[in-house]
Amino acid sequence: MSIIVTGGAGFIGANFVLSWAQSATEPIVNLDKLTYAGNPGNLVSLGTHPSYTFVRGDIGDRRLLAELLADHRPRAVLNFAAESHVDRSIYGPEDFIQTNVVGTFHLLEEVRSYWAALPEPQQRDFRFLHVSTDEVYGSLGPTDPAFRETTAYAPNSPYSASKAASDHLVRAYLHTYGVPTLTTNCSNNYGPYQFPEKLIPLMILNALSGKPLPVYGDGQNVRDWLFVGDHCAAIRVVLEKGRVGETYNIGGNSEQRNLDVVRTLCALLDELVPTSSYRPHEKLITYVKDRPGHDRRYAIDATKIRTELGWEPSETFASGLRKTVSWYLDNRAWCDNITSGSYRTWMDRNYENRGAA
């Protein structure tokens, strides 16, 4: 038996694959389409690891999915595959519908066929784990209670709407067909290998180059921050101990205003790169026009996964951020490789008409 991971060359998926290959004895199969955010360089350290198999392909390719399931006979399928950047979903929502909704549907259909044909006890022990986001819950006010698993869905961007749709499909395949599913909804991840269109790596790389640090609006938008290593550990706990059909919110207990995140990053860079000619890096902060429909606050109540499954984050925001900044400083070749012409084109497009806030 093995496990199949979809989207395992992306940020969260790659961190999960690396941690699994380093500590587990079961083979892991990674299916990834290698879109702009899927980077084989994230997994180069695995080399010719005997328990790791990479397959380039789309979760919408049902023939390929059927072959993989038949060949590898997994005891679990973990779905990390997703388009995940809000700004890109505003400019081009169709890709998000195709991958997050249609792709998840095709994956569920093939998993359903595979699972239905399994003998007992393999059928009873099989799991389909769907990795989702807290953004499906919408936006909170300053004093609203944090998102719980029972919070009503209220997505506000094409990205979050497409993830909400995929969550509903997963639920439907449990209740209609009996597929043993699990769903996790996580807060904002950060850490090694994150594509630098997201806030933290974008600010790190811009600051190191002396470029403006674009903060949307007034910078008061609040997010709960989760170190990716903690997220991967939580997913493994849910896979092994989660109750079929349940949803588990995964958070870092680290609500931070975006502006405070950027200022903390600047202070860390001042400390860790004392020879930088751009110190103090905080002077690079630039307020730009806010993005449409920008949710004001996210917050995760992770009581359920803590009390039922015994998981808690091991990193504070301070310790996780220091590890993250240090990783980007130590892996400049990775950064230079990923910030290619296509990346620069996208960044120019996203910020060219924003101007000052």
CATH label of the domain that carries residue 11: 3.40.50.720
Burial 183-216 (b: 16+ CB within 10 A, else e): bbbbbbbbbbbbbbbbbbbbbbbbbbeeeebbbb
Work out the angle between the directed axes of helices 11-23 and 228-241 (0-180°, nearest 10): 60
Mean pLDDT over the full length of the chain: 94
Order across the sheet with 188-190: list the strands: 188-190, 222-227, 255-257
User: pLDDT grade, residue 343 (50/70/90)?
Assistant: very low
Q: What is the domain count for the chain?
A: 1
Residue 9 lies in a domain: yes
Residue 67 lies in a domain: yes
User: pLDDT grade, residue 349 (50/70/90)?
Assistant: low
- The pLDDT score that the predictor gives to residue 346 is 44
Residue 218 lies in a domain: no
Residue 338 lies in a domain: no
Higher per-residue confidence, 278 vs 47? 278
- The pLDDT score that the predictor gives to residue 237 is 98
Tokens 């902060």 locate to: 285
55-75: average pLDDT:
97
Residue 261 lies in a domain: no
Q: Residues of the chain with pLDDT > 70: what percent?
A: 95
Looking at the annotation, which residues are catalytic? 134-135, 159
Tell me how many degrees the CA angle 346-350-351 measures, rounded to the nearest 5. 120
CB atoms within 10 A of CB 300: 26
3 state SS of 90: helix
Q: Which domain holds residue 190?
A: 2-194+225-253+294-316
Residue 302 lies in a domain: yes
- Residues 223-264 have pLDDT tens digits of 999 999 999 999 999 999 999 999 999 999 999 999 999 999
Structure token digits, residue 336: 């230079």
